């Protein structure tokens, strides 16, 4: 836990002082990366139900460690901030040149006022104790998305709260051939 917190603060410094988080990209089969993160969180929270539907049949040009970190932050949030008696639903697809990853949980809708501040560093909702995070998870997740040419959207209602990562399959397009069409 301490190592993760230190790593988060280092990421904050990198994002703020440097030109964003730097990536080490590779052509990646993403499903095993996502499976690994789910397995880790299931092991840590065996009482929670996590439903996954992964249909990523195409490779994604990305930094697998950073995508795992982004996903772990979103899934960890769904578990710690979502309603404990409701399942967490995770979906991943690769369609129309876009990689999409969504994490949804039950619980009260995120209030309008909080929505604007959620992705800012050190922002935390009111219900947090000393054992909870620093409020850097969403900031870092958003920085990782941005570094891949993508973004994270929030869709929150009384029915569910869903965070959606959307990014091009080719990262920032650098896999495209350099020659003219
Ligand atoms: N899935 C979620 N459902 C409800 N609230 C959330 C969810 N994810 C994040 N939040 C709210 O956004 C705040 C910021 O999230 P984050 O940056 O990951 O910080 P932390 O989890 O360390 O508090 C949380 O404190 C919480 O109030
Ligand atoms: Mg968090």
Distance between Cα 133 and ligand 1 center (Å): 9
In whole angstroms, what is the distance from residue 13 CA to residue 25 CA?
Answer: 21
Domain ranges of the chain: 2-168
pLDDT tens digits for 11-30? 888 777 777 788 999 999 99
Cβ of 82 closer than 6 Å to ligand 1, yes or no, is: yes
Cβ of 133 closer than 6 Å to ligand 1, yes or no, is: yes
Give the model's pLDDT for residue 125.
82
Taking each helix axis from N to C terminus, what angle separates 30-44 and 64-81, rounded to the nearest 10 degrees? Answer: 40
Pocket test for ligand 1, best of 77, 123, 132 (most atoms within 8 A of CB): 77
Cβ of 138 closer than 6 Å to ligand 1, yes or no, is: yes
CA nearest neighbour of 108 among 157, 73, 50, 154? 157
Domain 2-168 has CATH 3.60.40.10: no
pLDDT tens digits for 140-179? 999 999 999 999 999 999 999 999 999 999 866 555 544 4
């Amino acid at each position: 836990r301490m190592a993760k917190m230190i790593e988060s603060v280092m990421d904050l410094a990198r994002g703020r002082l440097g030109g964003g988080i730097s990536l080490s990209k590779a052509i990646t089969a993403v499903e095993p990366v996502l499976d690994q993160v789910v397995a880790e969180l299931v092991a840590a929270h065996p009482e929670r139900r996590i439903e996954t539907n992964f249909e990523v049949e195409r490779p994604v040009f990305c930094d697998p460690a950073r995508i795992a970190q982004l996903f772990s932050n979103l899934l960890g949030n769904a578990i710690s901030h979502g309603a404990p008696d409701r399942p967490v639903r995770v979906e991943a697809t690769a369609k129309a040149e876009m990689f999409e990853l969504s994490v949804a949980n039950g619980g009260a809708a995120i209030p309008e006022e909080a929505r604007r501040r959620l992705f800012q560093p050190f922002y935390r909702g009111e219900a947090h104790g000393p054992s909870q995070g620093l409020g850097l998870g969403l900031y870092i997740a958003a920085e990782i998305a941005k570094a891949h040419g993508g973004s994270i959207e929030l869709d929150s209602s009384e029915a569910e709260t869903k965070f959606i990562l959307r990014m091009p399959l080719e990262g920032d397009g650098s896999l495209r051939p350099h020659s003219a069409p």
